Chain A
Amino acid sequence: MTVLKENTEPQTAPAVPATTEPRRRKPVGTRAYKVFRVAALVAVVLFLVAPLFWMLLASFKTNVDIYDTGKSFFFTPTGENYANVLQRNNYFVFIFNSFWVAFVSTALSLVLGVPAAYAMSRFTMHRSALVVLMARVIPGVSLLVPWYYVFSNLKMVGGFEVLILSHMFVSLPLIVYIMMSYFDSLPLELEESAQVDGLTPIGAFRRITLPLSVSGIATAGILSFIFSWNNFMFALVLSGSKTKTLPVAIFDFVSYASIDWGGLMAAATVVTIPIMIIALFTQKYIVSGLTAGATKG
């Protein structure tokens, strides 16, 4: 870095006649590169979106049409699969289960995680942070055997409490991780001056820091909700027939004998659509949450 800085002086000098504003972008754009870039970007978007589009198409086909390769794109759409999923398979119950587990575990994790992240950031408790972040590293299976044993003794397996607890285990480290990097970037001066004006340290946290952290909390909350909604392994072991979440319920459409492809694709669509809609509206938060802490040393 230091070696290169010496060379940068010529660049700052011509920047003074600021009238030629577009010249910074100019070198990127040879015509061949521009064409290549557009083509490459289209290819990337197709690669990412086409499979999802295919799933959506298949969910509107009858099983006969799915087996007919001549009807890949042109067919008479049917709502039968969705009727099957939502009515006969009671998916509204599973949608509610998924939502409830994700919502409560996120809310509780925020209550526990935000103050913890604050303390860990302000007092640089790196070793304590490591304990919490350890939860992200540990393979879930190694926790499930003991959990299953304990919770089945407590007659809790199949209830919402145990699912929520296990999902909090995923949410809490995520929230602590995101909020720590958020608090790290929040200037100390505001809290200090609030304390000079007579607030206690906890008061300063509640009245100054928390209100300033709304966007960080939203980021952490949204991501935690998505991860909980998508979680499969914990629900596979710990949920009962009444508390089944959507990712587990999908398997109802797969049996050894045959697969109801239309129903399966409709179910997969029902699982993914809500989360994608949330993602569309909260894009900025998701990106900042996923990249939190990635760019600092």
Chain B
Amino acid sequence: MEFLAKGIALAGCALGAGIALIAGVGPGIGEGQAVASALEAIGRQPECKGDVTSTMILGCALAETTGIYGFVTGLLLIFVAPGMFTGLLG
């Protein structure tokens, strides 16, 4: 019985980590759109290339935040949560 409970807890952690990484989809789409718009802008006005590029990199790094939250959650679920749950179950 205890074995089963531990198994379910570990499986939950692993599945949760996988699901948490779906958070990477959002920043991927967002950054892709940001880069596409920046390329359009550079194509229209090649003289602003430096300004557009630096602003775009800053914006991309900010848009990455939600993906990073997902990544940290996944890490916690893989490295921290199993120890906690198996400790609770004895």
Q: Do A and B bind each other?
A: no
Using CB atoms and an 8 Å cutoff, list the residues of chain A in contact with chain B. Answer: none
Using CB atoms and an 8 Å cutoff, list the residues of chain B in contact with chain A. Answer: none
